Amino acid sequence: MRKTNRYPVEQANSLWQIYKTVSFWKVVKNFIFIQLGRYTPFLGVKNWLYRIFLRMKVGEQTAFALMVMPDIMFPEKISVGSNSVIGYNTTILAHEYLIKEYRIGEVVIGNNVMIGANSTILPGVTIGDGAIISSATLVNRDVPTGAFVGGNPMQVIYTKEEMEKRMNDDKG
């Protein structure tokens, strides 16, 4: 199970109670700065917007590609290490609204991580340092350090040890 806090609801589905969980004005502000970040071609400006206005933790030399969509309601729960690449049109969620509950969880992306285009990262997930996420992957659980994962649902394709062995075999 992912590391999320769960909040049951008793009336209509949880999305109908959205503004009881997060301020309308916070969502408006976040929407504006996320849209600016999605379209700006300047990586330094994008990281600055995310750090200052969205309160995301973004490491040095991290690159968010065009159209990346950080969580609009709880971007402050997203942490990305240094020298990572977040691929085109990736969605990083720190919340999920369901029929009978909503969930909120931290997303931690390590250093030197490569996330392929069109991936979705769910709340409560940790991606270890040096991991590689294949394009169009649904990251629905933690990713081990150095692993290569892909698919929907996500599968471990190679562990760090298997990758190192393959690289050494290729050299010899």
Indicate which CATH number applies to the domain containing 88. Answer: 2.160.10.10
pLDDT digits (tens, 9 = 90+) for 71-110: 999 999 999 999 999 999 999 999 999 999 999 999 999 9
Domain count, the chain: 1
Domain that holds residue 147: 5-171
Cα–Cα distances in Å, from 140 out to 5, 61, 152?
Answer: 15, 26, 9
Per-residue pLDDT of 107-144, as tens digits, reads 999 999 999 999 999 999 999 999 999 999 999 999 99
Query: How do residues 7-30 score in pLDDT, each as one tens digit?
Result: 999 888 999 989 989 999 999 999
This prediction has a pTM of 0.94
Gyration radius of the chain over CA positions? 17
> What's the rounded Cα separation, in Å, for the pair 86 and 82?
11
Q: What is the three-class DSSP state of 43?
A: helix
